Amino acid sequence: MNVRVRFFAQFGELLGTDIIAEPSSGVALDSLIKEIASKNKEGYDAIFDEHGSFREFVIIMRNGKRLDMADAKKARIADGDEIAVFPPVAGG
Amino acid sequence: MFSQRELERYKRQIMLFGEGGQERLKKSTIVIAGAGGLGSPVALYLAAAGVGTIKIVDNDLVEQSNLNRQILHNDRDIGKKKVDSAAEKLQSINPDISVWAIHTTIDATNATSLVGNADGIVDAMDNFATRYLLNDVAITKKIPLFHGAIRGFYGQATTIIPKKSACLRCIFPKAPPPEVFPVIGVTPGVIGAVQATEVIKYLLNIGGLLTNRLFIWDGMQASAEEIHVERDPHCEACGTKKEMKRKRT
């Protein structure tokens, strides 16, 4: 199946902004993001903490709807999903 | 009533929304929280558009390292209070408006009184702690908050109409860690212009606002998009117990 993963702001700078992944059926959302993010340690560390959990400020959207952290952990990817991962930016 | 000078000044925008609209702008009060990268373009455009009263709040002095992006200030202003430097420029751009320069740190003890009876709050801050505070004040007073934030070539903006659209905490429940953020001046230019546009449309009750939408600008890719967001009934800032109960039942 095909899934589109988009990283924004500094996540995109570190991991690429638009990635088409072909995960196996039923893969967990956090596993997919971890697999993609593992290609760049700085990118991985920006998104995940030392326990491998999403950092609490990270925003995960699935098909335009925000997932809270508990849902993001247990969510399963479906064919055609579009996942957006971004940090709030704080500068002014 | 407008003077001949005002009618001449606003001629091209009166073509858009009439003297009635211009009168609404003149009677409006907007609080701009921050006189830095975002506050600069927001204040300049609102002053030029004729928003009658602009309260600009900041606790900083102008530093050399501000000048790549904080276009209200120039080299001669280094060491001045940012709000004084801002007020001077805004009054020279438009002497027919009132500018209040408020040199203070926005905190829980003064945020409500600083906002007063304003028609809207522009979030031009550089930290989420103060943003959450402004969000709370906006909700309590039921006035809109025009959010903007930037980092590098990247920026975001949304408009919050309390109790009607997603608030800042609905969208960003947790603040990112503080950092000295990199930035190029054009990014707050883009986002500040979006925020000022939102303020003007809101005051005039025209167009479609950025409510329940997070506008995202990636200057590096020259790409703009929006993400749909919605109110969180469990939001600690704007969710009500009644709504939470309704959600559960």
Domain ranges of chain B: 4-248
Q: Which residues in chain B have their CB less than 8 angstroms from residue A61's CB?
A: 227
Distance from the A81 Cα atom to the nearest Cα atom in chain B, whole angstroms? 15
Question: Span B141-169, mean pLDDT?
Answer: 97
Provide the number of CB pairs (under 8 Å) joining chain A to chain B: 83
> What would the pLDDT profile of B11-54 be if each residue is shown by its tens digit?
999 999 999 999 999 999 999 999 999 999 999 999 999 999 99
Residue A74 lies in a domain: yes
For A56, name the nearest residue in chain B, comparing CA atoms only.
Answer: B174
pTM comes to: 0.93
Contact at CB, B151 and A9, closer than 8 angstroms: yes
Give me the mean pLDDT over the B111-132 stretch: 97
pLDDT at residue number B245: 39
What total number of domains does chain A contain?
A: 1
Q: Give pLDDT, residue A70.
A: 80
Tell me, yes or no, whether A91 lies in a domain: no
Mean pLDDT of B223-237: 91
Mean pLDDT of B194-198: 98
Q: Is residue A66 part of a domain?
A: yes
Q: Is residue A62 a part of any domain in this protein?
A: yes
The span from the CA of B85 to the CA of B74, in Å, is 9
Q: Which of chain B's residues have a Cβ under 8 Å away from the Cβ of A92?
A: 34, 36-39, 123-127, 148-150, 188
How far is CA B112 from each of CA B48, B107, B109, rounded to the nearest angstrom? 27, 9, 8
Q: What whole-number percentage of chain B has pLDDT above 90? A: 90
Class of domain B4-248: alpha beta
Check: CB of residue B62 under 8 Å from CB of residue B70: yes
CA distances to A77, B28, B58 from B93, rounded to whole Å, are 54, 18, 20
- What angle do helix axes B39-49 and B82-93 make, rounded to 10 degrees? 30
What mean pLDDT is predicted for residues B102-123?
98
pLDDT at B212 over 70: yes
The CATH number assigned to the domain holding A38 equals: 3.10.20.30
When pLDDT is averaged across residues B73-78 and rounded to a whole number, the result is 98
Domain with A64 in it: 3-86
* Mean pLDDT score, A68-76: 84
B248, pLDDT greater than 70: no
Q: Would the pLDDT of B242 be above 70?
A: no
Residue A60 lies in a domain: yes
CA angle B113, B162, B106 (to 5 degrees): 30
pLDDT of residue B241: 55
B228 inside 8 A of chain A by CB: yes
Cβ pair A91:B150 closer than 8 A: yes
- What ipTM goes with this model? 0.84
